[in-house]
Chains A and B, each alone.
Chain A
Amino acid sequence: MAIAAVFRTCPDTGLKVHSHAENLIKANAVVAVIFLAVGGFFGLLVALTRWPAVHLLPADAFYLVLTAHGANVLLFWILFFEVAVLYFASAILLNSRLAMPKVAWGSFVLMIIGAVIANVAVLQGESSVMFTSYPPLKAVPHFYLGLILFAVGMLGAVLVFFATLVIAKDEKTYEGSVPLVTFGAITAAIIAVFTLASGAVILIPTWLWSMDLISEVDPIIYKVIWWGFGHSSQQVNVAVQVAIWYAIAAMVLGAKPLSEKVSRAAFLLYIVFLQLASAHHLLVEPGISSNWKVFNTSYAFYLAVLGSMIHGMSIPGAIEAAQRRRGLTQGIFEWLRKAPWDNPAFSGMFLSLILFGFLGGITGVVMGTEQINLIIHNTMYVPGHFHATVVAGTTLAFMAITYLLIPLIFRRELVFKRLAKWQPYLFGIGAAGISLFMMGAGTLGVPRRHWDITFTDAPLTVEMPGTAFLMMGLNGVFAILAAIGGLAYIVVVVGSVFFGKHRDEAVAKANPVIFDGGEAVTQYGSEGTIRIPGTIVLVAIFFTSFVLYYFVNWKYLSEVWPLR
C-alpha cells in the first residue's frame, strides 16, 4: 500500500512541494525549536552561576543543568533542525517526493523518545556526567539508551535523505548535477553517517557497562571513539550551515556561487578531511603519539580548513557579484552597505558567516595546534570557541533560514516583524559577547565546567586575577542579551506558526520572500566572475587577523613555558 503522493505548487517558487516532506520539515523544525528553548534556558542558568557575583545555582544543580544544557542544544536542537534541512534540500529543492515517509515519521518519533528519555535521566539527578559522559563517570542506563535511540532515529532520517536522492534521480525531477545547496546537504549527511556510527559503536558498550553487563570501558578508547561522534557532529553542523549560507544568498539576492566547481571541491575537502579534526579533543591525552595527533589535527585537517576558507570567500563573493550585477557598483562596499540588512534572513546569515569565520574559525585553527593547545586546554576558552562556532555560527544560521521556512513551508506571514528584524542582531551580539569573554577568561586560566573559581573550602587554592572575574561577569551580561535574542526568536517563530496570517497566493504575490534570481537555489550554475574587490578586502582583513592572532599565541606560549 503506497502512501499517495500529494503535491502542491509553491506560489513563491513554482516548485512542487510534497506534503509528507512539508509536514516532516514542519514537525522536525518545531521540535527543534522546543529543545532550543529548553536548552537555551539551561544555558542562561549556567552562565548566571558562573557569574561570580551572582553564582545562582548550588553545585550539584550546576552540573545537572550544565549536562542538560549541552545535550539539549548541541544534540537535540541542532540535529532535529538538521533533519528538517536535509528534507528541504532533497525533496523540496530537487522538486521530488520524499522517500519512505513512514521511515521518516518512525525516525522522528524515535528521536523524540530518545531525547525525552535522556532528559528524564538527567533531570532525575543521577546522570550529571556532562553530555560527553566520559567513563568512569557513570550515568543511569536510560541516559545512554536515550542517546542511542536518538542516534538510531537520526540515522533513519539520513537514510530517507539518501533514498530521496535516488528517487529524484530515477524520476528525473532535476537535470544534470544537483544544486550546490543539496550538495552541501549530501556532505552533511555523509559526515552524519560516520558520526552516528561512531556514536553507536561507543555508546552501546557504555550502556551495557552502566547495567553492569560488562566490567569496564577503557576511558581513552572511549574518548577516541566518542569524539568521532561528538566532534564530527559539529562538522555536520558546519556543512549544513554553509549550505544554508549559500541557500539564503541565493534566495534573497539571487546569488550564484562564483564557481560551482570550486565550491563543490571545497565540500569534497570536507567529506575527506573534516572528521579527522576530532583528534583535537585528545591533544593532551597520554599514550597517543604526536604523529596521530598532528596528522589528524593539522596535516590533514588544514585541507578541510582550506575548504572553509573557499566557502568563506565564495559566499560574500557571490553576494557581491549578484549585487554588482544589479548595479550597486560604486566604490568597494556599496554592495554591502545596500544589502538587505533589515531582512532577518539576510542579516542573520551574514552575521553568522562573519562571526563564525573571525571568532570561531581563527580560534579553532589556533587551538587545534598541538603546542598552543596546551595554554588553553580545558579552560573556558574551549566553550568560548565553540559558542562562536555552534551558537553565533550554526544556531544563528538556522535562525536565519527559519525566516524563510515560515513563509515558504509553514505558509504563514511573520508576526512581530520589527522584533524579527532586530532578533539576529540581539542574538548575534550576545553570542559574540559570550564567546569573546569566555575565551578571555580561559586565556587567564579560568577552568571550564567549574562551579567555584574562588575555590572556597578547597585544600589547595588558586588565585585568579581580578580580570578573570570581570570576564566571567561580562559573560553573564552578554548571556542575558543572547537569551533575550533567543527568546525573541522563539516568540516570533511560535507567534508566526500559530497566529501568522495564512499565506495564500495573493499574500505571496503582495509580499514576496524570494527575490529576483532566487531560483538559483535550485539550479546548478556559477556566477562566473571574479570582479569582487570588496570581498578581496574582507579576505585580506581576515588573513591579517588570522596571522596576527596565530603569532600572538606562540609568543604567549613562550611566556607560559619559558625555556631558560
Chain B
Amino acid sequence: MAKSAKKAAPEPEPGDIPFMQRLLDNPFILLFIGVTVPTLIYLVWGVVEVAQIPLAK
C-alpha cells in the first residue's frame, strides 16, 4: 500500500478513488489532453488565421 495517508478521506475503496487521482493515474487520458489542446488552440487556430490572409492580386 502506498503510504499516501489521506487526511480527510477514509481508506479509499477502489470505487471511490477521487476523480483527479484517477485522471492523473491514467497516462493515456493525459496524453489525449496534452495532444488535443495545443493542436486545437495553437496549431489549428494558428493555421486557420494564416490561411485567411487574402492573397495579393
Contacts and interface: CB of A to CB of B under 8 A. Distances in A.
Interface of A: 162, 165, 175-178, 183, 186-187, 189-191, 193-194, 197-198, 218, 220-221, 224-225, 228, 232, 260-261, 264-265, 268, 271-273, 275-276, 278-279, 282, 287-289, 292, 295-296, 300, 523-526
B12 to A, nearest CB: 10
Interface in B1-57: 1-4, 20-21, 23-25, 27-28, 30-31, 33-35, 37-39, 41-43, 45-47, 49-51, 53
Interface of B: 1-4, 20-21, 23-25, 27-28, 30-31, 33-35, 37-39, 41-43, 45-47, 49-51, 53
Contacts of A260: 4
A176 B1 CA distance: 7
B49 A525 contact: no
A190 B27 contact: yes
A197 B47 contact: no
Given A177-B2, A177-B4, A264-B24, A186 B30 contact: yes
29 contacts: A175-B2, A176-B1, A186-B27, A187-B34, A189-B27, A190-B27, A190-B31, A190-B35, A191-B34, A194-B34, A194-B39, A218-B50, A220-B50, A221-B51, A225-B43, A228-B38, A268-B23, A272-B34, A273-B37, A276-B41, A276-B42, A287-B50, A287-B53, A289-B49, A292-B46, A523-B2, A523-B3, A525-B4, A526-B4
A176 B2 contact: yes
Contact of A271 (B28, B30, B39, B53): B30
A162 B27 CA distance: 8
Given A190-B31, A194-B38, A271-B30, A279 B46 contact: yes
A197 B35 CA distance: 9
Contacts of B37: 272-273, 275-276
A9 to B, nearest CB: 22
A190 B4 contact: no
A67 B20 CA distance: 44
Contacts of A220: 50, 53
A288 B33 CA distance: 25
A486 B34 CA distance: 34
A352 B34 CA distance: 26
B4 A193 contact: no
Contacts, number: 105
B38 A232 contact: yes
A275 B4 contact: no
Nearest to A198: B43
Given A292-B49, A296-B41, A193 B31 contact: yes
Contacts of B34: 187, 190-191, 193-194, 271-272, 275
A183 B39 contact: no
B15 to A, nearest CB: 16
Contacts of B45: 292
B8 to A, nearest CB: 12
Contacts of B25: 177-178
Nearest to B3: A525
Contacts of B20: 261, 265
Given A190-B34, A224-B43, A525 B50 contact: no
B54 to A, nearest CB: 10
A250 to B, nearest CB: 15
B4 to A, nearest CB: 6
A287 B20 CA distance: 40
B38 A177 contact: no
Given A224-B46, A287-B50, A526-B4, A300 B41 contact: yes
Contact of A295 (B24, B27, B41): B41
Contacts of B47: 221, 224-225
A526 B30 CA distance: 22
Contact of A175 (B1, B23, B28, B38): B1
